[in-house]
Amino acid sequence: MSNAEANGRRPRRIVVLLDASHASMAALEAAVELAAHRNTELLAVFVEEEELLRCAGYPWTREVGLSGAVRPIETTTVEERMRDRAEEVRSALQRSSQRRGVAARLQVCRGRVVHEALALVGSGDFLVLGKVGYARCRGLRLGSTARAIVHGAPGPVMVFEESARRERARNVAVVVAPGEAGLTTLRYAQALLGDRETLSLAIPDAPEDGHALRQSEAAQWLRTHYPQARWLDEAATDAEHLAAALMDGGVEKVIVSRRSTLLAHHGPRSLIESIRIPVIVTP
């Protein structure tokens, strides 16, 4: 691969989507790290949900709390809360970016989260968001918002989840499809690797075609660039099994193409939900 090719896939800007939840704050930290490592600009986006404001405009709207308590909501209260949270996000961003010396900017916009976020990012942007935001109390690990963004973003998206493990050399797994697509994913992966990160595990995207895959150009590329990387033997048909295999392999991050069969097979929600480490979805 030529340097130009790699540079073409190297993100020019990091965009992080924030909602002041715990998960999004963790994602912010990761985004700041990425920006610092790559010496790129960081754009933080906070969306004031218009739908919520509209909803609060109805005099008969009620909010059902997590305790089951029902209380009225008003536009003024909702707006106030949104301002507070934006402020919270602003100060967190300032704190983190100053510490790492990252040029950061917060954009507050009003509208629908997916729409606004997708409108802001281009193909050169690396979008980072927290895995569990609002969805937590609904028993979801990945909200509909995140799902829509993963699907719709033009560039790579990282669904971040805080990992308990902190090792010096961080292992990254990549899902490799046969043919040209696999090579593209690998190149993307190389471009997206962070500080001290290395590709250590290759997951065949089409397990039934494993043998052919290992003879492919992608495999050749992997051997050349990351000779220590090994192939995952067993067919990772089940998302849970895949998660366990990643755990055993000491993997801290997974890179998968949006077009991969694996993602299509399990559905982004199921796969990303099951894997409890950050997942980067490449175009």
Partner 1 sequence: MALPEPLPVDRLYRTCDPEQLDFETTAELDPLEAPPGQERALEALELGARMRAPGFNLFVMGPDGAGKNAMVQRLLHERAAQEPTPSDWCYLYNFDESTQPRLLRLPPGQGLRLRHDLEQLIEELRSTIPSTFESDEYQSRLQELQQQLNRRQREAFEALQQEAEQYDVTLLQTPSGFTFAPVKDGEVIDPEKFQQLPEDERRRYQQAIEHLQERLQGVVQQIPKWRKEIQHQVRRLNEEMILLAVGQRIQELRQRYGELPVAATHLDAIRNDIIENVDAFRSGEQEHMEYILNRYRANLIIAREPDEGAPVVYEDMPTHQRLVGRTEHHVHQGALLTDFTLIRPGSMHLANGGYLIIDAQKILTQPLAWPSLKRTLSAGEVRIESLEQVHGFWTTVTLEPEPMPLRTKVVLLGDRMLYYLLAAYDPDFPELFKIEADLEDDLPRDDANQALYARMIATVAARQQLRPLSRGAVARVIEHSSRMADDSERLAAGGRAINDLLEEANHYAGDAQAETIERTHIEQALAAQERRASRLRDRSLEVIRRGTVVIPTQGRRTASVNGLSVLQLGEFAFGRPTRITATARPGRGQLVDIEREAKLGGKIHSKGVMILSRYLASRFAADRELSLSASIAFEQSYGGVDGDSASVAELCVLLSAIGELPIDHGIAVTGSINQLGEVQAVGGVNEKIEGFFEVCRQQELTGAQGVALPATNVPHLMLRREVREAVERSQFHIYPLHHVDDALELLTGYPAGTAGEDGSFPAGSANRAVADRLARFAETRRRDADEHHGTGAPEEEDRDE
Task: Write out the residues near partner 1 by the rule CB under 8 A.
Answer: 20, 49-52, 54-58, 60-68, 70, 73, 78, 81, 85, 134-135, 137-141, 240, 244
User: Are the C-beta atoms of residues 188 and 283 closer than 8 Å to each other?
Assistant: yes
- Cα(162)–Cα(159) distance, integer angstroms: 10
Nearer residue to partner 1 within complex by CB, 19 or 125: 19
**How far is the CA of 98 from the CAs of 28, 95, 104, 206, in angstroms?**
13, 6, 9, 44
CB nearer to partner 1: give 59 or 227.
Answer: 59
Residue among 110, 93, 95 nearest 15 (CA): 93
Q: At its nearest, how many Å lie between partner 1 and the CB of residue 119? A: 16
Distance CA(150)–CA(263), nearest Å, equals 11
Classify 237 in phi/psi space as left (phi over 0), alpha (psi -120 to 50) or beta. alpha
* Nearest approach, Cβ of residue 64 and partner 1 (Å): 5
14, 174 in Cβ contact below 8 A?
no
CB of residue 21 to partner 1, shortest distance in Å:
8
Tokens of 208: 């039934």
Q: Which is nearer to partner 1, 18 or 229 (CB)?
A: 18
Cβ proximity to partner 1: between 261 and 270 the closer is 270
Nearest-approach distance from CB 161 to partner 1, in angstroms: 15
Tell me whether residue 91 or residue 215 sits nearer to partner 1 (CB atom): 91
| Minimum distance of partner 1 from residue 6's CB (angstroms) | 38
Which CB atom, from 10 or from 112, has the smaller least distance to partner 1?
112
CB atoms within 10 A of CB 173: 27
- Check residue 106 and give left, alpha or beta (phi > 0: left; psi -120 to 50: alpha): beta
The distance of closest approach from Cβ of residue 147 to partner 1 in the complex, given in angstroms and rounded to an integer, is 13
